[in-house]
Amino acid sequence: MEFLVRLSIGVERVVPYRRIAVFIDDLEETRLNGPAAVGIAAPQVGCFRRVVILDCSATRKPVPNHGRLVLVNPEITHWEGYEMGREGCLSVPDYTGNVIRATRIHLTAQDHDGHALAFDMEGYEARAVQHEIDHLDGMLFVDRVVSRRTDLFKRKVYQKGGSAKTP
């Protein structure tokens, strides 16, 4: 688990994008085969490149979102508002926790071909992308809980392809 606290390096154009595309396909397969993950970051599979896949379009309660996103070198350039919310993670499967995140962000990134992307995100999607970018920066949600005594919860059930039941 200590490999998850390592910083990821940016993807440069010198990296053959064909190799990145194959890696992204494998990363997406890992996300889809896991329990109800809306996102995954490259460090979660031991690759320390700044690559994230995010898809908030299939949540139980519909939320504003941009569909499935492959984000290379994502960076939050503006954030505003803050809100506490419950988070879980494939990398910490036995716990959920209350984490404070920005409610609205502006994100820049590249797609898998190196083309520039920019998004304004809010609510759940903004929270999810902040969570995934934390992985790129060597952080887990448990590093952001206000109090491990009062804001970290043992997960009761982690259902494959469904939602986790938490206290």
C-alpha to C-alpha distances, 47 to 40, 88, 135, nearest whole angstrom:
12, 21, 11
Provide the residue count of the chain. 167
pLDDT in tens, 66-101: 999 999 999 999 999 999 999 999 999 999 999 999
What tokens does 46 get? 């031991």
> If you average pLDDT over residues 30-59, what whole number do you get?
93
**CA nearest neighbour of 39 among 3, 74, 76, 89:** 89
> Residues 2, 12, 87, 132: which is the catalytic one?
132
Verify whether residue 2 is a known catalytic residue: no
**Is the separation of the CB atoms in 107 and 33 below 8 Å?**
no
Write down the pLDDT at residue 35. Answer: 83
Give 122-162 as a DSSP string.
EHHHHHHHHHHHHHHTT--GGGTBS-TTTSEEE-SB--TTS
What pTM did the predictor assign?
0.86
Where does the pLDDT of residue 14 fall: very low under 50, low under 70, confident under 90, or very high at 90 and above?
very low
CA dihedral in degrees (151, 154, 159, 160; nearest 10)? 80
In the predicted model, what is the mean pLDDT of the chain? 88
The domain spans of the chain are 2-154
Domain 2-154 sits in CATH at 3.90.45.10
**CA nearest neighbour of 101 among 118, 85, 115:** 85
The answer on pLDDT for 161 being more than 80 is no
Q: Which of 13-17, 33-37, 68-72 has the highest mean pLDDT?
A: 68-72
Selected residue with higher pLDDT from 8 and 102: 102
Write down the pLDDT at residue 167. Answer: 36
